[in-house]
Structure 1
Amino acid sequence: MKPFSVFLLSCLLFLGTGISLAQNQEKITFASWNIRWQSDDDVKNGNAWKKRFEPIANVIRFYDFDIVAMQEGAAGKRDDLAPLLKDYAFIEIDSTEHNPILIKKDKFKLLDKGKFYLSLTPEKKSKSWDSMHKRFCLWAKLQKDSTTFFVFNTHFDHRGKVAKNEGAKIIYQWIPSIAQSSPYIISGDFNSVEGSVPYEILMSIPGIKDAKDVAQFTHIVKKSFNHFDPTRDSKWDLDHIFVDSRIPVYRYGVLNEMYFDGETYRYPSDHSPIMMVFELPAIKQP
């Protein structure tokens, strides 16, 4: 074989290897979104669910999220959203409790799922301390290609100060033991701002980082809790994504998307979705 032919063949083999490597490092788009419970006051104020669910689905479809950790996604809401989100599987344990994890059906394999309660008895449905509701953490063990990872989705109580602090401690204790050596993501509506006691407890989990702190590019115009009012500037970031420090995060943002209802511009929920783009780390797993 002539020297130039050898050189050309080597280049083609190198390029082929490069393409293969790129395919193995596919970026994943992740979102966390509290889509708001159904309230009579919302109907009176023009924010009825029947108006909001299509704009919510449109945001999910437009950004083409691979995974959505959703809060307050009750069974009736799932029934409205599912026909518009046919590419997604809704992961739940109990349809009477409403924090589903949505995953692209063609990208991930569900290996296992479970939940634990943010209470003195995490293994059974319960509430403790000053919590108004039974709060829990739903988790999914997923596989992408040869990599296994976990997604934890939770919603802290909105009133109980002690319950939020203690719930963060339950997260601290339970999640590492479930995930073991696999990389993982913790996300949700924590009803807690950066610097609060629950936030600092979560940040003290070994190897955990706030995704916005480690993202290569961050875009935040307004905070995640939006009061259902596009004209109002929010002061509260109640929603967070925490990542295993082995997970590279490329982008993080708060998506203050609106829709027009024929009379005025509105937010689809009183929380704006937060999102990140990440890659699964190259970890040798059994």
Structure 2
Amino acid sequence: MQLRNLEFRVYDHNIRYDNRGLTKHERYWCERKVPSIASMKFNGQHNTIICLQEVLYNQLLDIQEGLGEEWAYYGVGRDDGETQGEFAPIFYKKCEWELIKCETHWLSETPEVPSIGWDAALKRIVSYVRLRHYSTGREIGVFNTHYDHQGLTARKESSKLIVTLMKEEMCQVPVVLTGDFNSSRDDEAYKTLSKDLDDSGLLLSEDLRYGHSLTFSGFNSNDKPNYIDFIWLPRNRGLCLKTFGILHSEFHHFKFSDHRPVCVDLELR
């Protein structure tokens, strides 16, 4: 029996961790969480998978409460594999998706245990879920990560590791990679990924891309805007990109993150 096509959305956002030592124009999480969660809810209506970065445990609980009981998530804290440190969680609606597989790998030479890799400053992880869509029976895999902000070697080696992990899964299901890569399109980490994957931000003509041109805005004029958040798609796996957008993160002169959400609509044929 031929399976039906599956249309779904991927929403990716670095929400900014719950920083207690604020930078200029930055707001506390207790203020930022309301518009941050509202953006997730508004843009996450049907068949949506929400991938987040820089999420501390208290923020995770706030987001779970804000989204409601119909949502579930997978993710662990990068410091201890439980609740300590930042999460890279993946949220999905329990009525739409069945969780088939979930795992976390550390971006290091010892990916199965909490560890710092290569020249990185901090522990870094990639979260993975395989989901089955109840209505169509189709399965997809989603990787979500946050690369190190200092280690050039760490970012490049992280790309190599993730490509290896993705190829193992692509033998069974089409997969998507999301995250804050702390890398521009000129960096080796980006170029390593682009050998095997497609950058969704380049697949549609400019007139079909919605919103902003950069994903990192910062909170003030001293922050240099950049394009470092990406949603990557596999080649020749039946995934068709329908829409692409870099969404707003500022309303009424108030930024709820120093990054903007990236959002794509996909069709699995």
Matched with 1:271 is 259
Secondary structure, counterpart of 1:112 in structure 2: strand
Whether 2:188 is the aligned partner of 1:197: answer yes
CA contact (8 A) 1:222 1:233 kept: no
Q: How does 1:72-151 map to 2 (within 5 A)?
A: 72-86=54-68, 87-93=70-76, 94-96=82-84, 97-144=86-133, 145-151=136-142
- The verdict on how the C-alpha distance between 1:153 and 1:46 changes in structure 2, with shifts beyond 3 A counting, is closer
Secondary structure, counterpart of 1:121 in structure 2: coil
Amino acid at match of 1:243: L
Q: Percent identity?
A: 26
Q: Give the deviation of 1:233 after TM superposition.
A: 9.2
Matched with 1:247 is 239
CA contact (8 A) 2:139 2:173 kept: yes
CA distance in 1, matches of 2:13, 2:224: 16
CA distance in 2, matches of 1:233, 1:255: 19
Q: Give the deviation of 1:160 after TM superposition.
A: 0.9
Long gaps (5+) in structure 2: 77-81
Residues 177-233 of structure 1: CA deviation (Å, up to 9, x unaligned): 13423100001000001131100101112xx2111222473124241101124x789
Long gaps (5+) in structure 1: 1-20, 282-286
Matched with 1:221 is 212
CA distance in 1, matches of 2:267, 2:222: 34
Select which of 28, 44, 52 maps to 1:70: 52
CA distance in 2, matches of 1:92, 1:276: 22
Residues 5-52 of structure 1: CA deviation (Å, up to 9, x unaligned): xxxxxxxxxxxxxxxx9x943521211100111223327744110100
Matched with 2:79 is none
Flag the structure with higher helix content. Answer: 1
CA distance in 2, matches of 1:204, 1:239: 18
Tell me the TM-score normalized by structure 1.
Answer: 0.82
Whether 2:171 is the aligned partner of 1:171: answer no
Deviates more, 1:211-220 or 1:33-42: 211-220
- Larger Rg, first or second structure (1 or 2): 1
Secondary structure, counterpart of 2:12 in structure 1: strand
Whether 2:20 is the aligned partner of 1:40: answer yes
Flag the structure with higher strand content. Answer: 2
Amino acid at match of 2:97: F
CA distance in 1, matches of 2:66, 2:225: 32
- The verdict on how the C-alpha distance between 1:240 and 1:163 changes in structure 2, with shifts beyond 3 A counting, is same
Matched with 1:12 is none
CA distance in 2, matches of 1:53, 1:132: 27
Amino acid at match of 1:27: E
Aligned length: 253
Matched with 1:211 is 200
Q: Give the deviation of 1:173 after TM superposition.
A: 1.8
CA contact (8 A) 1:223 1:234 kept: no
CA distance in 1, matches of 2:61, 2:5: 34
Residues 95-121 of structure 1: CA deviation (Å, up to 9, x unaligned): 334111011222111001001111111
Select which of 232, 250, 253 maps to 1:258: 250
CA contact (8 A) 1:27 1:278 kept: yes
CA distance in 2, matches of 1:228, 1:222: 17
CA distance in 2, matches of 1:248, 1:234: 33
CA distance in 2, matches of 1:46, 1:132: 23
Q: Which runs of 4+ in 1 moved over 3 A?
A: 23-26, 43-46, 231-235
Whether 2:47 is the aligned partner of 1:55: answer no
CA contact (8 A) 1:254 1:273 kept: yes
